[in-house]
Amino acid sequence: MTNQDKMNELLNQEITKDNVTAVDKSFKELMKTLFASIKEIDKDARKAFGQTVNEFKTAMEEKINAIKQSMQSKGKQDEYVDLTLSKPKLQYGAMHPLNRIYKRFESYYINNGFNVVSGPEIELDKYNCEMLNMPAHHPARGMQDTFYLEFPNKILRSHTSAMQIRYMLKHNPPVKIISPGIVYRVDDLDPQHTPMFFQLEGLVVGENITFSDLKGTIMNCIENVFGKDIKARFVPCYYPYTEPSAGIDITCPVCGGKKCRTCKNSGWIRIGGCGMVHPNVFKNVGYPENIQGFAFGYGMSKFPQIEYKLPELRILHDNNIKVFKQLH
């Protein structure tokens, strides 16, 4: 087959997006052959042959480029997004059951004049223990054994009471705050305990603050959040940073007080603790002796268990979407 026949064959070949790469390759190879063969042609015929080759080259490049441009335009059309189209149906998430109940507590306390403060989860021992009347030798530290990052000073906070110390060091009385956040304890997993849980603590400091003020604050909050059907009681208890102290119990929502595995066959569930702030705590932050106050704390992770009658706390941390959908 002569070079002229090869040029005619390529010119007459149909070029599509499927074969354009192969045709382009054949075209370039043929052009190398044609330019190389010019030397072998007589001088008289060389000019005419060169003109024929240039015309062939121009015609082939136009055909190949036309197909390539068409392919590029089609690709851009495929990538184009019509913003006027109706958007697909989206699945919206919802607030976690724990946060939803916390917001009810937060709303109650804000409406009653409390400020919301927050602090670091990685805490210093002096704020978490020492200034809360728990020196290094104190046996009460065993009640709130936590995780040490740098022994013995840097820990994961075992309660948000540390934020109360930080706040009192910077603010003079009166004080009326709540401090929510994640806390850590070396607790074994059981229906009512997990090594990490959400806590809400409160502090009220001023003149003539009494235990009656404390009890009224707690009872009104529980009634406001859960309704009058939930019964609550104060039980004598010990906390090193309050004196006198009380545990806060409510009737078990799973068995209605009839005793079950969830309430450890007692009919009651401990949701928190409270008491009058110990004088040593006020002394450590430099408050005068005539100042009184009370503190309280809730294990917030237990309230979804109460609200939704969950048998175990760990259900809240499993991130099971099917379970959460049932709770909404």
pLDDT digits (tens, 9 = 90+) for 164-209: 999 999 999 999 999 999 888 876 666 666 778 889 999 999 999 9
Q: Using alpha carbons only, how large is the chain's radius of gyration in Å? A: 39
pTM: 0.66
Supply the mean pLDDT for the chain. Answer: 83
Higher per-residue confidence, 326 vs 35? 35
pLDDT tens-place string over residues 15-33: 888 888 888 888 888 888 8
Phi and psi at residue 196, to the nearest 5°: -135, 135
CA distances for 35 relative to 3, 32, 39, 48, 52, angstroms: 11, 5, 8, 13, 12
CA dihedral over 81, 83, 86, 90, signed as positive or negative = positive
Q: Is pLDDT above 90 for 269?
A: no
Strand partners, 34: none
Distance CA 129, CA 34 (A): 92
User: How is residue 261 written in tokens?
Assistant: 């595995």
pLDDT band for position 114 (cuts 50, 70, 90): very high
Question: Average of pLDDT values for 290-302?
Answer: 90
Nearest C-alpha neighbor of 162 from the set 152, 154, 174, 172: 154
Count of residues making up the chain:
328
Under 8 Å between Cβ of 161 and 132: yes
Whether omega before 288 lies within 30 degrees of 0, making that bond cis, reads no
DSSP string for 138-163: -GGGGGG---EEETTTEEE-SSTHHH
Question: Average of pLDDT values for 240-266?
Answer: 85
Residues above pLDDT 70, as percent of the chain: 90
Q: Is pLDDT above 80 for 317?
A: no
pLDDT tens-place string over residues 27-62: 888 888 878 787 777 777 777 878 888 888 888 888
Q: Could you give the domains of the chain? A: 3-79 (no CATH), 97-327 (3.30.930.10)
Phi and psi at residue 164, to the nearest 5°: -65, -40
